[in-house]
Structure 1
Amino acid sequence: MSATRRTAASPTRRWRRPGIGLRLLAAQAIVLAVGAATTAVVAAVVGPPLFREHLHRAGVPTNSPEEMHAEEAYGYATVMSIGGALAVSALAALAVSVYVSRRLQRSVTEVAGAAALVAEGRYDVRVSPPRLGDDFDALATAFNQMASRLQSVERTRRRLFGDLAHEIRTPVAVLDAYVEALEDGVRTLNAETVAVLRDQTGRLVRFSDDVAALAKAEESSVTMAYAEVDTERLVRHAVAAARERYDAKGVALQLRTAQALPPLWADEQRLSQVLDNLLDNALRHTAPGGRVEIHCRADGGRVTITVADNGERIATEHLSSVFDRFYRVDDARDREHGGAGLGLAIAKALVDAHGGSIAAVSRGTGTGATFTVELPTTPL
């Protein structure tokens, strides 16, 4: 019975591999053993003939007692020298192995523990440089960069879900309240109620469209349809498409091109979306009677398109965040106009996919904001 149990239990036992300390010590022991064996062979094969030859040159007779005594002393001295050197080398190897293995084990244990915490969702953990060489320091740096990136992604994910919930909650709450009021007979399905319902459903549709557009924009590097684009025609079409909205609000829209513009190698539909978002953002933040201007110029191998308005300024502390998802300088104002805070994020993603850059500047009250897009004229 007991033998059967041992036989059944033996396959479940896991053979534990030796740690890095034992492996390092074993490697040094092998080196020492090979060195000692080589030294012994050389001392036994090469040493005695050479020693005997020098004795003969010194006048010691062959096979004399003096020769035998000298050779015996040489053998003892060789054995004691090799043995002493081997013992000292073994102690030194053991000390070095213990020291290095402890440092390595401490570093590996720290990285392994930190990796386990990251696997559990603790992205704020960091490891200290082990100072065991550039390779180990590079490993620690790469791990910290990975953890920092994961922490940033996690923050973005949480903010994204929070913003999604917030954006959806308001129109859904309004729709729920109106439907309940209609069921209870508090409200009637008149033109005013229909207008409110359509406004809230339209807000949900616009929001879903913006989220889908942002997802496509961030994948645009593999979905672009590049072709030669007439820059001036592109900008004029964007201005013409926005003209009716500007006229309805009473905001002047002007286009200024300083010179003949070179063609762009780009996706015309995506660039039209960039300009439409910038013009829509400028219109949203410019009061009736205001003015929005588009300037285009060529500089070397790049084309610069500037959209400037004289509406409300953007505070300095907000400039670095205006291209973030769901970011609003003024939450109440943007929600009133149906903005979800995604237009500029979409524009930036599309401009980045074209190998260009986009920046925002606001110099003070009454000067509004200026958005500058730079795009290369040559293929990426």
Structure 2
Amino acid sequence: MSRALPRIAARRDLGTRLLVAIIVVVIVGGATAWVVAARVGPAIFHSHMARISGTNPDAIVHAEAAFRTASALSLALALAAAMIASVVVSLFLTSRITRSLAPVIHAARRVARKDYTARVPEAGMGTEFGDLADAVNTMAMDLEHIEQSRTQMLGDLAHEMRTPIATLGGYLEAIADGLEHADAATLAMLREQVARLSRLSEDIALVTSAEEGRLTMRRKPTSVMLIVHDAVTQATARFSARKVALDVRVATTGTSASADTTVDVDADRIAQVLTNLLDNALRHTPPGGAVTVATELAPTVVRITVSDDGEGIPAEHVAHVFDRFYRVDTARDRAHGGSGVGLSIAKSITEAHGGTITAQSDGPGRGAQFTVVLPLAERSPHPPIGFGS
């Protein structure tokens, strides 16, 4: 029997609990009012009657009895009315609360079943219920976005891996059957496909670590111009081979960054951002074109802009260029050899440093511009790591 009671109590819903609590409050309040009225009222009435001179004692006793009866009857009727009103209001309130919570419970159960389209309508029950509905809806939308990204990423990853794996499998099978020979050219091609898979694996691991905040960084004040100089120097040979001009310029507006302009960053990571942007510009700029790297100093940030006069980006694609595996022209980009996550890596690393990265293009054939904004390092008595260090 003692075990059954807790089970029954545990099954009570919120509306029942609220109703019981309100009834208990009304009963306690009524009992308190009854005790106070029974003790205080007659005493005060007797004191006033005693002050009236010439009053017959029998009349006083009769008046006091009449007072007690009238007070008790009036108080009983008032408490009964209060009890009925409280029960009615409590039933209405608990019903409203229960109806307002039902959509939240239903939506939460749908989300638990991986139905992320569930939404909670506005209940009209105040700020708290509104905040609860907004929180559940935001959670569902975030989970829906994550699930869509996960599904798309797995599909894109499988698509990216299919070509090199098929190539490796086909050639290995042909070599085993004696249809191909493992000469230098074939082995070089196989090594290239293995390297492509290795790069893809490393890029996915890097962008995932950055997005989840697990990216290891060794931050220290570093010269902006040193980072730009090193990235341009490393890319010069690739640009020369493609006959694309690569130029470093000062900003056309504002103040150009100088050798003593420092940012608190992991220099290798930011160099990787610039390398990815330069590689992206090189892939989409035809021979004879030009790519420009410009720096601009603002009061609290520095802007590094990589712009080209190449293929450009259609307006409907600009907002998606930082998505993993997103390609404006799938066949053409894949032929260029990109893994499809270079810009995603650049975005994740930049945001991990507290910065932002944006893309802009006036349309196809009119080039593109990528701007990295990084907060300046706080001034310190120690010299920055820069040229000649």
- TM-score, scaled relative to structure 1: 0.91
Is the contact between residue 221 and residue 353 of structure 1 (CA under 8 Å) also seen in structure 2? no
Q: What is the CA–CA distance in structure 2 between the aligned matches of 1:358 and 1:287, rounded to whole Å? A: 24
> Is the alpha carbon distance of 1:35 and 1:144 closer, same or farther for their aligned partners in structure 2, counting shifts above 3 Å?
same
In structure 2, stretches of 5+ residues that fail to align are 380-389
> Is the alpha carbon distance of 1:352 and 1:19 closer, same or farther for their aligned partners in structure 2, counting shifts above 3 Å?
same
Q: What is the CA–CA distance in structure 2 between the aligned matches of 1:13 and 1:376, rounded to whole Å? A: 59
Match of 2:171 in 1: 178
Q: What is the CA–CA distance in structure 2 between the aligned matches of 1:20 and 1:190, rounded to whole Å? A: 77
2:217 maps to which of 216, 224, 228: 224
What letter matches 2:301 in structure 1?
R
Is the contact between residue 60 and residue 67 of structure 1 (CA under 8 Å) also seen in structure 2? no
> Is the alpha carbon distance of 1:14 and 1:29 closer, same or farther for their aligned partners in structure 2, counting shifts above 3 Å?
closer
Match of 2:31 in 1: 37
Match of 1:281 in 2: 280
- Which aligned pairs between 1:1-380 and structure 2 lie closer than 5 A? 14-17=7-10, 18-59=12-53, 61-64=55-58, 66-218=59-211, 223-258=216-251, 259-261=256-258, 262-378=261-377
How much has 1:192 moved relative to structure 2?
A: 4.1
Percent identity of paired positions between Structure 1 and Structure 2: 45
> Is the alpha carbon distance of 1:233 and 1:109 closer, same or farther for their aligned partners in structure 2, counting shifts above 3 Å?
same
TM-superposition CA deviations, 1:94-118 (whole Å, max 9, x none): 1111111112222333222222221
Q: What is the CA–CA distance in structure 2 between the aligned matches of 1:14 and 1:49, rounded to whole Å? A: 49
Q: Once superposed, what is the RMSD of the aligned Cα atoms? A: 2.3
Is the contact between residue 100 and residue 125 of structure 2 (CA under 8 Å) also seen in structure 1? no
Q: Bigger CA drift: 256-265 or 161-170? A: 256-265
TM-superposition CA deviations, 1:86-137 (whole Å, max 9, x none): 1111111111111111122223332222222211111111112322221122
> Is the alpha carbon distance of 1:27 and 1:260 closer, same or farther for their aligned partners in structure 2, counting shifts above 3 Å?
closer
TM-superposition CA deviations, 1:56-102 (whole Å, max 9, x none): 445561412x3232222212211111111111111111111111111
Is the contact between residue 100 and residue 123 of structure 2 (CA under 8 Å) also seen in structure 1? yes
Q: What is the CA–CA distance in structure 2 between the aligned matches of 1:288 and 1:238, rounded to whole Å? A: 20
TM-superposition CA deviations, 1:270-320 (whole Å, max 9, x none): 110011000000001111111111111212121111111111010000000
Q: What is the CA–CA distance in structure 2 between the aligned matches of 1:225 and 1:161, rounded to whole Å? A: 31
Q: Bigger CA drift: 233-242 or 51-60? A: 51-60
What letter matches 1:314 in structure 2?
I
Q: Bigger CA drift: 250-259 or 93-102? A: 250-259
What letter matches 1:121 in structure 2?
K
How much has 1:379 moved relative to structure 2?
A: 5.1
Is the contact between residue 303 and residue 376 of structure 1 (CA under 8 Å) also seen in structure 2? yes
How much has 1:356 moved relative to structure 2?
A: 1.2
What letter matches 2:283 in structure 1?
R
Match of 1:3 in 2: none
Match of 2:386 in 1: none
Q: What is the CA–CA distance in structure 1 between the aligned matches of 2:288 and 2:5, rounded to whole Å? A: 82
Q: What is the CA–CA distance in structure 2 between the aligned matches of 1:366 and 1:119, rounded to whole Å? A: 47
Is the contact between residue 359 and residue 368 of structure 2 (CA under 8 Å) also seen in structure 1? yes
TM-superposition CA deviations, 1:216-261 (whole Å, max 9, x none): 4335676221111111121111111001111111111111135452
What letter matches 2:89 in structure 1?
V
What letter matches 1:361 in structure 2?
Q
- TM-score, scaled relative to structure 2: 0.89
Count residues with an aligned counterpart: 372
How much has 1:206 moved relative to structure 2?
A: 1.8
